[in-house]
Amino acid sequence: MIRKSVLGTSQEEIYERVLYARNRQPGSRPAVVGGKPITEEAAIELRVTAFGTAACPPRGEWIHTPLIMRPCDQLGYGLAAPRNGTRSLLSALQAHIIKWLLFDSRPMTKDNKSIVPPDSYLRPTEERQEEALWRACSEVIWRCGSSNQPEPRAVVALPATQIYVLHSSQYYQDGITEMLHIFDFKSLEDLQIFIKRYLYLFQSEEGSGALLLLYACILSRGCENIIKDLDGKLTYLLSTAAEGSLNVTTLLLTGRATPYLHNGVQYVGDEDHYAMPQFGVLGRSAVGLLVWYGNDDSHTPNFSNQYPGSRLKTPALPIWVTGCSGHYGVLFNTNRELLRNYHAERRFDIHYYTCGGCHVLLNVDTRAQEDQGPLRNDDISATPLEKLILTKWQDAKITWSGSAPFAGDSP
C-alpha cells in the first residue's frame, strides 16, 4: 500500500504565491446603499457572540481573508486561503461550492446520470466559479435564517464608508463592524440577487469576505439563538484553535451552531441532576461531517457526543467537511448515487481537498479482503486522513491513487 503523510504540520501548504482577486470594471461595483446602519449595541453584541469580546479586535485573519477562487486551470473548483482561523468556515463553504458544481448545476438524463463526465464540472469557467460562490454563500446564509421557524429570514451586513460606532472602552474598532449596513431578506431568491450584486465585497483582496459571511450566518440565526445553540458549553462561537471552531462548521451545515453531533435530541443527566435535553442534528444534512481527533486532547471537545451521528456521516450527497486533529478539508465523490447504491459503495475513488491547495485522490475498498486485512483505526501505520475515512467505512482498505487529474500543490 502506498502511504503519504498528510494532515500534519509538514504537509500544510505554504503560500508560495499570492492569489489576487480578479480585476473588475468600476461599473460592476455598486456602492452599498440602503439597509440600516449598525448601532453600538448591535455591534457589541455581534462581536461578543462571534469572538467573546468587543473590547479587543478580532484575530487579524478574519479582517484580511477574502473569498477567492483558484485559477480555472488549477483546481478551479477550490477556494484559496492560507491556513488560519477561518479554515473551518471556508471548508464548509467549499463543500457547498462543490455541491453546486457537481450536483445542483448538472443537467441530468432520465436515468439520473450526467450527460457529460462529472469530473468536467470540477473545471469551471470564471462565470461558473462566481455563480457557484454566490449560490453557495446564499445557501448557507439562508439555511441559518430558515432554522428560525416559522418565519425564515436572512440577514446580511455589508460595510459602507461611514463609521457608526466610535472607539471606546467597550468597543474596539476593527475597520469593518462599525461601518456595517444591515439588510433583511424574506426569500432565498432576493438573497441570491443581493449576494450576486455585492459579491465583489466578499472577493476583494483588501476585503473581509470570510468575516462578512460569518456575520451573515450569525445575524440570520440570531445572536441569542447562537448562544442557546452552544448550550453553555461555550460562551461564544469561535475558538482559539489554529483552523477555527467546529461550531462554525455545524452552523453552516445545519443552520444551528450546535456542539452536539448526534442525531436528534438526547436527554443527559445523572442521579444528582435532572436529565436535560441536548439538541444535536435535527435533520439529515445535504453535506456531511466526519471528524477524527487523534491522540491530541487539545482538539477534543470538553463535552460528550463529539462524534457525528448518521445524519452527518451519511448525508444526502457524497460530500463531507472533515475535521482531522484540528485540520479542516473536504472529502467528496462525483457519483450522486454513492450513498444510495450498495454496489457503488463497495469500491470507489474519493477526493480530498483543502483551501490551502492540497488535493489527493484515494481509493476506498469496503469488500472483505482475504489476502490482506483492512486498515483499522488502531493501525499505527495509517495516516490521520485514512483513520478519518475509517470512521465512515470501518473495514475499508484505503490506497492512494497517485496524482489526481488536476494541477495543484502536492500534500
pLDDT at 14 over 70: no
Helix axes 126-146, 209-221, angle to 10 degrees: 30
- C-alpha cell of residue 391: 470512521
Which pTM value belongs to this model? 0.88
The pLDDT value given to residue 373? 55
The model's pLDDT over 168-177, given as tens digits with 9 standing for 90+, comes to: 999 999 999 9
Nearest to 96 by CA among 154, 66, 146, 140: 140
Q: Residue ranges per domain, the chain?
A: 26-400
- Asked whether 404 and 351 are in contact (CB, 8 A), the reply is yes
Q: Number of C-alpha atoms within 13 angstroms, CB side, residue 197?
A: 12
Please give the average per-residue pLDDT across 213-218, as a whole number: 98
Please give the average per-residue pLDDT across 167-189, as a whole number: 97
The model's pLDDT over 119-163, given as tens digits with 9 standing for 90+, comes to: 889 999 999 999 999 999 999 999 999 987 778 899 999 999 999
The pLDDT value given to residue 224? 96
Average pLDDT score over the chain: 85
Distances (CA, A) of 205 to 91, 130, 284, 315, 354: 19, 15, 36, 34, 20
The pLDDT value given to residue 298? 45
The pLDDT value given to residue 40? 97
Counting residues of the chain whose pLDDT is more than 90, the rounded percentage is: 65
pLDDT at 297 over 50: no
The pLDDT value given to residue 145? 95
- Asked whether 76 and 123 are in contact (CB, 8 A), the reply is yes
- Asked whether 382 and 400 are in contact (CB, 8 A), the reply is no
- Asked whether 216 and 60 are in contact (CB, 8 A), the reply is no
- C-alpha cell of residue 345: 459503495
The pLDDT value given to residue 341? 85
Q: Within a 10 A sphere around the Cβ of 376, how many other Cβ atoms?
A: 12
d(CA 266, CA 275): 9
- Asked whether 330 and 95 are in contact (CB, 8 A), the reply is yes
d(CA 283, CA 312): 9
Instruction: Grade residue 246 by pLDDT with cuts at 50, 70 and 90.
Output: very high
Contacts for 230-237 with beta carbons within 8 Å, 24 or more apart?
230/257, 230/258, 230/259, 231/258, 231/259, 231/260, 231/278, 231/279, 233/259, 233/301, 233/302, 233/303, 234/259, 235/52, 236/48, 236/49, 236/50, 236/51, 236/52, 237/49, 237/50, 237/51
The pLDDT value given to residue 402? 60
Q: Within a 10 A sphere around the Cβ of 196, how many other Cβ atoms?
A: 15
Strands (E), 230-301: 265-270, 273-279, 288-292
Please give the average per-residue pLDDT across 326-341, as a whole number: 93
Please give the average per-residue pLDDT across 379-383, as a whole number: 68
pLDDT at 295 over 80: no
The pLDDT value given to residue 216? 98
Nearest to 384 by CA among 297, 308, 314, 294: 294
- C-alpha cell of residue 300: 477534543
Instruction: Grade residue 268 by pLDDT with cuts at 50, 70 and 90.
Output: confident
Question: Residue 173 corresponds to which amino acid?
Answer: Q
The model's pLDDT over 78-97, given as tens digits with 9 standing for 90+, comes to: 999 999 999 999 999 999 99
Question: Residue 279 corresponds to which amino acid?
Answer: F
Backbone angles phi, psi at 153, to 5 degrees: -155, 155
Instruction: Grade residue 8 by pLDDT with cuts at 50, 70 and 90.
Output: very low
The pLDDT value given to residue 116? 75
Please give the average per-residue pLDDT across 327-352, as a whole number: 92
Convert 95-132 to b/e letters by CB count within 10 Å (16 or more is b). Answer: bbbbbbbbbeebeeeeeeebeeebeebbbbeeebbbbb
- DSSP class of residue 39 equals P
Instruction: Grade residue 377 by pLDDT with cuts at 50, 70 and 90.
Output: low
d(CA 44, CA 122): 41
pLDDT at 27 over 80: no
pLDDT at 404 over 50: no
pLDDT at 372 over 90: no
**Would strands 359-365 and 327-332 be described as parallel, antiparallel, or unpaired?**
unpaired
Instruction: Grade residue 369 by pLDDT with cuts at 50, 70 and 90.
Output: low
Counting residues of the chain whose pLDDT is more than 70, the rounded percentage is: 82
Please give the average per-residue pLDDT across 95-103, as a whole number: 97
Q: Rg of the chain over CA atoms, in angstroms? A: 21
SS3 79: strand
